[in-house]
A and B are shown apart, each in its own frame.
Chain A
């Protein structure tokens, strides 16, 4: 058997970056094969928001009031987009924890693979999945009467903000996944669920008690959802507070802040896993 020629160890930053990107490409390719062969996973993430739309949009919908008037389902859909981005974290946490428990991460770490590359592969795969989730959910939204009133450009900007939030949360998910067992990761939705409720997802913060209203308005999810409602021209924009008036700035600022904190934490945690 002939021996393969081992490539030289990268020395310059440019070479290192090239390897990191190539590693990311290989790792994300593997993840994408997973969802092509196991598409049920995508349905799983979509099942929950679809049930919520039916439940809140139709069952409770008649009893729901939109501050300032307007169609409740049009108000609800941007909230569901945002909530789906947040819940996407659960699959990130789970896959990261499962890979660590099954020895896959050990193999990566015993190889001369760029740790940034491996994590970026995860991020790319999750972002592609979430984009697909979002597209399907938007098509469903169109069926129940949701519209992007300000044109394609604004709609794309809103989608960009939603995916930006998802991007930031992938790093949170990696950080959590590297600390949890797969069993623990299965329970990750528990702290997330209340976080998505203490927001403007289902109800305008104006209709909440004052203390809840402050929490709801400053929730990063609310910033993204409020910004989306602005960009889609949906009814029920909250107003009267700094956070509500600067939703777009916050919808960019919050994810950037989360990324700045959790990206280095994830990489450090990955490199020092069990060290």
Chain B
């Protein structure tokens, strides 16, 4: 039987008229990564704050690492790590001093705190900058230091709230590597993100959050099959060629192609990416169309929402949840 590190049932939280969480259900199996995907304001941070005992829900229940977050917060706190949406590192202290302080607060003795600090600095690739003040760190280094702090006790469950938002691609890759390493040690991770790409790379399970509710939940491949998998993008030089390009793409596409006349672009979801790109490239050339760009990519959050709810991710909040075409896998 699967054991769940995180189990939330019907979590609700209201701020005035805003239903930040409106019946949030989630179960994350032990030792896996769950990506909580949603646009700004979907309720990701609220969910993480409730699960990490920072916030009391108005209703519903949640167990983390086997303990109730409302009834037994102290037990939960011994078993979790949290890296919040803002990094909580101290600019005036050095990286080493930051970690040493958090380690002492986790009640490690002075010697053990020192040992663990050195180990984590090494492990997160910060040993070289350990004695520099954090104010001289790059965004990626701060993130990694913050991750290291949340990993001092090697938590059973780790919460990461938008760990890569605002990072450059290189720092993002560094953070991903660190998360993968943590998971390899058996930690269960709940990470929130606005990028399907990120969830797809890291997560075993993706839950799509919209207006405080999980509207789709499953493995990345299952989610991708629901939303049509990879997207093919063709940009033609002459907008007059758009209909012919669309006809070509329609043959390999999973759904009818969308045409964006302003960008002279045709977009469509495809099932078999390799087949799609070879066939499309050949036929575009045979038809003699001038092509500016031909790419294969993951759908954006907006496209995920469009296929799940029939509307973009930006337009949330103005319709009650019941009216939004709910899709449950």
Contacts and interface: CB of A to CB of B under 8 A. Distances in A.
B219 interface: no
A44 B93 CA distance: 21
B9 interface: no
B98 to A, nearest CB: 9
Nearest to B53: A110
Given A33-B92, A33-B97, A106-B54, A111 B105 contact: yes
A274 interface: yes
B154 interface: yes
B154 A7 contact: no
Interface in B110-155: 112, 115-116, 119, 123, 149-150, 152-154
B56 interface: yes
Interface string A246-272: 000000000000000000000000001
Contacts of B119: 1-2
A48 to B, nearest CB: 23
B107 interface: yes
Contacts of B56: 272, 275
Interface in B49-86: 49, 52-56, 74-75, 77-78, 80-82, 84-86
A33 B75 CA distance: 31
Contacts, number: 90
A198 B257 CA distance: 75
B27 interface: no
Interface in A1-30: 1-7, 9, 19, 22-23, 26-27, 29-30
A9 B78 contact: yes
Nearest to A23: B105
Contacts of B53: 109-110
B309 interface: no
A112 B106 contact: yes
A22 B52 CA distance: 24
Contacts of A33: 92-93, 97
B82 A106 contact: yes
Contact residue range for chain B?
35 or more
Contacts of A274: 49, 54-55
B86 A112 contact: no
A30 B112 CA distance: 19
B99 to A, nearest CB: 12
A104 B74 contact: no
A68 to B, nearest CB: 49
Interface in B259-282: none
Contacts of B152: 4
A111 B106 CA distance: 7
B204 to A, nearest CB: 22
A116 B203 CA distance: 38
B74 A9 contact: yes
A275 B50 CA distance: 9
Nearest to A102: B86
A6 B154 CA distance: 9
Contact of B88 (A27, A103, A272): A103
A121 B91 CA distance: 19
A111 B123 CA distance: 22
Contact of A110 (B52, B112, B154): B52
B19 interface: no
Contacts of B54: 106, 109-110, 273-275
Given A23-B105, A110-B77, A274-B49, A38 B92 contact: yes
A185 to B, nearest CB: 17
A58 interface: no
Interface of B: 49, 52-56, 74-75, 77-78, 80-82, 84-88, 90, 92-93, 97, 101-108, 112, 115-116, 119, 123, 149-150, 152-154, 185
Given A106-B49, A112-B77, 17 more contacts: A3-B154, A4-B103, A4-B108, A4-B154, A6-B78, A22-B104, A22-B107, A27-B105, A30-B93, A30-B101, A103-B86, A104-B88, A106-B88, A107-B84, A110-B81, A111-B102, A274-B49
